[in-house]
Structure 1
Amino acid sequence: MAPNTPSRPTYIRVKRDKTIVFLCIKLDDTILNIKEKLVTAMSISKPVEDLRLYLDTTSEHQTLTGRVLEDHQTAKSAELVNDALVYLVYFDHNLGKWEDIHVVEYESLDDEIEEDTTDLTDESTKKKEKGKGRA
């Protein structure tokens, strides 16, 4: 890349429970900087020391797993590429340990939408058929 040429922004997906945050980062950002951005973006009331990020290493049909991202690492050295999936967990002071990675699976609502569309189509057909015989 030529000097003075701006690099393309890198976006990562950060997941926790039912939440997904799309965060724009620079490759020279440290993991600590990224955590600070997350605290602001998600309005987290916890200190950054109570946040841990994991880079997704889950293979197909496995439980969620990740590699811990250390605060001193840069996004580049941590291998955060565009559209990387990162998990966010908190430190539980009551239990004295880090939470497990937990993300609620996406539930498609397409089945309900198709049923609703079918009903609307049937209704519009019925209305057209009623008016056919008049004139």
Structure 2
Amino acid sequence: MISGCTGKGSIYSGIEKQDLTGIESAKELEFIYEYRGHTDNWASSYYVYQKKDSEYHITRLFLKYIGGETAPSGELQYAYSTEGAATGSGMLEEAAGPSVIYNLGSSGGNGTIPEQDSAVKMHVEWNGGTEDFELEPVL
């Protein structure tokens, strides 16, 4: 699902829209809303987009560990909510692996989507740590 590289300078490297298969080129899209946020340990990107001539939108959520210590191991829990639209949560039983980028899934439909200038609230729990942060719109 993830391809390409944008360089080592960005904490969002690997989870930017040009890195993601299916949305790296905006030519085929009616619109794309992008939200980003980070803490000392996590960077996250949330995308809402719709292809031209489609009545359905797609959402995708990514989480990247950027902390200075060893990548999380064991259980990783997350929850997110958007203003007036989507909410979701989940758990990864075994967070350890060769990548520190977690594809938290995608969904689609023709229901309500978040406003382009709204925020996405993110909650992450791992290895006894907990962080809450907001993803702001990239306008």
**Bigger relative contact order, structure 1 or 2 (CA pairs below 8 A, ≥6 apart):** 1
> Larger % of strand: which?
2
Per the TM superposition, whether the score is higher than 0.5 is: no
Task: Tell me which structure has the larger Cα radius of gyration.
Answer: 1
Instruction: Give the TM-score normalised by the residue count of structure 2.
Output: 0.34
> Larger % of helix: which?
1
Instruction: Give the TM-score normalised by the residue count of structure 1.
Output: 0.35
